[in-house]
Structure 1
């Protein structure tokens, strides 16, 4: 279906760009030749790769790119994009859960602020439906990496709460994985990514409503 799956790069079957696997979505065919998104990149079979962008997926569907890559008839789920979005959200929820259970995550404005001030925060995970103004008051221009992939209710469920708006993740592989998945989700959804971080400045972040 595509070139051998070796090395760190894969070629998008629509744009023909070679990109890191982390910036792409892999698809395989199930036994009924239904196109299945393989978000973990571990399902058997030769992969079909797309850049993790909504417009690229739409072009693939309109142009019959999956059938061409598979060299035959394929079945396309009508909710393929929704399956990708839902799967990425579950992966993000699970990654934040792993961080929480490993003592690498805290939630709540005050706990997050404390981690920011003490240098324990490597990534801030903000609720996608949280207030941008509140987020700006917390983060300021201190240069922290910020993603906002999940709604407050889903984030809160990870911590046994009704909702959580602010989460801090310790630096490391989990924080990096969360950022990768959040970037893929932003490319495949209507939720815009938070603005890029700006250089840090000295001093604590300003307060604001919880």
Structure 2
């Protein structure tokens, strides 16, 4: 995310220069600019009976009206909320919508559990995307099936549950490197921020531990919400070794691989 100097325009702006044709937005807290799909949109509800408009996550950016965009981690968001910086930034973003200077204008309410709501929404967006790829027959599960496809050079995205056994993950990582002609490199599957139980419940299958995709478009669609989730959780550092080792193999994977420790 780049930080423009003296850039005070709205977070909902549409005149920012785009990378590769992608629209960009400005984070209301950091002032950094990033692709729209890399940030999280916040929206406000219609005024309730008490005249309050509640701030809610809009991770699919579909809610009508004005939005405010954030690109910070959960820890930074909670610090900004505790210090009152978040409310100030949101009042500036939604001031015209609220009619803040008008008598009887709605009040802005930021839920105490806003961070929890955002993380839950981001997790749901990621697992929903996995579910859609599963229904379309593009998501592979099961170590033997994944290993066969990986050795054949067909896998372009590989992931492991947070509680996957190290030896099982290493075997699949090695099969992927062999099939990708990337032996001796750091190319490996992403350790997901979900354990096997969470993945199994989300996908309606038993004992989901390893996942793979052989369709590049599907891999890109899955990588996008995963990157946002990992960034919000503070795990956004990209594995540079995997990215360097990739050399065109599994590009979507390399972009979404996070440095994680168990």
Look up the match of 1:176.
Answer: 220
Look up the match of 1:79.
Answer: 113
Q: Is the CA contact 1:26–1:41 (under 8 Å) kept in the aligned structure 2?
A: yes
1:1-210 matches, within 5 Å, as 2-5=11-14, 8-32=23-47, 33-61=53-81, 62=83, 63=85, 64=87, 65-71=89-95, 72=100, 73-132=107-166, 134-140=168-174, 142=177, 143=187, 146-189=190-233, 195-196=239-240, 197=242, 199=245
Change over 3 Å in CA distance of 1:164–1:59 after alignment to 2: same
Greater relative contact order (Cα < 8 A, sep 6+): 1
Mark the runs of 5 or more structure 2 residues left unpaired by the alignment: 1-9, 48-52, 101-106, 178-186, 248-262
Give the CA deviation at 1:165. 0.8
Mark the runs of 5 or more structure 1 residues left unpaired by the alignment: 202-210
The answer to which of 56-65 and 10-19 deviates more is 56-65
Give the CA deviation at 1:55. 3.5
Distance in 1 (alpha carbons) for counterparts of 2:202 and 2:214: 16
Distance in 1 (alpha carbons) for counterparts of 2:205 and 2:28: 42
Give the CA deviation at 1:157. 3.3
Moved over 4 A (4+): 190-196
Change over 3 Å in CA distance of 1:29–1:200 after alignment to 2: closer
Change over 3 Å in CA distance of 1:52–1:42 after alignment to 2: farther
TM-align CA RMSD: 2.7
Change over 3 Å in CA distance of 1:68–1:158 after alignment to 2: closer
Look up the match of 1:207.
Answer: none
Is the partner of 2:144 in helix, strand or coil?
helix
Give the CA deviation at 1:174. 2.5
Give the CA deviation at 1:50. 0.5
Bigger Rg, structure 1 or 2? 2
Give the CA deviation at 1:2. 3.7
